[in-house]
Amino acid sequence: MKKIIIILFGLTLIYAFNSNNKEEILIPNNAIRFRVIANSNNIKDTKEKEIIKNDIEKKVYDLIKDSNNDLEIKTTLKNNLNKIKEILDTYNINYDINYGLNYFPVKHYKGVLYPAGNYESLVITLGEGLGDNFWCVLFPPLCLLDEEKENIGEVEYKFYVKKLIDKF
């Protein structure tokens, strides 16, 4: 009898854990995204995208780190596009920079649903823009989440994202 009770208890825990794990977290409509699209998928262009992305990401983070809401971030980004262009101008590449509404396809990442749609965003297209892209969410501040929490699992990621969304 004890074995049956233990087995039923274990199955109940597994069911409860899996039910909670399937809950999708939706990124809010006022999210602000950041995207860098590579010229192509060759090794040189992919490395260049990573280097440029890292430079821009650091600058953007420095600009918005003290912002309290999406409106402050929007204003800061709009007012500082010239600083981002200055960084891009140091590279020998054609680029297009667009801040405004841009289309993003649907993305599922570590149990979080990033719905398709037009989002307020900073999009940098390098060269022809035919390569893979990097993107993240500036608001709520999810861009540096994976870098800050190396080896973060799906459950921890979902919990942290939910906490950030609830905060903002």
- The answer to whether the beta carbons of residues 93 and 139 sit under 8 Å apart is no
CA gap 122, 131 in Å, rounded: 17
Please determine, for residue 5, whether its predicted confidence score (pLDDT) is greater than 80. Answer: no
Q: What is the pLDDT of the chain when averaged over all its residues? A: 79
Q: Residue 23 carries which DSSP code? A: P
> The whole model's pTM is what?
0.75
Please determine, for residue 146, whether its predicted confidence score (pLDDT) is greater than 60. Answer: no
- Phi/psi region, residue 151 (left: phi>0; alpha: psi -120 to 50; beta: rest), is left
Look at 16 and 91; give whichever has higher pLDDT. Answer: 91
DSSP string, 114-126: E--EEEEEEEEEE
33-57 pLDDT per residue, tens = 999 999 999 999 999 999 999 999 9
64-80 pLDDT per residue, tens = 988 888 899 999 999 99
pLDDT at 24: 66
CA gap 95, 84 in Å, rounded: 12
Pairing of strands 25-26, 117-126: unpaired
109-141 pLDDT per residue, tens = 777 788 888 999 999 999 999 999 988 888 877
Residues with Cβ < 8 Å from 154, sequence gap 6 or more? 21, 110, 111
Lowest-confidence pick of 12-26, 58-72, 92-106: 12-26
pLDDT at 127: 96
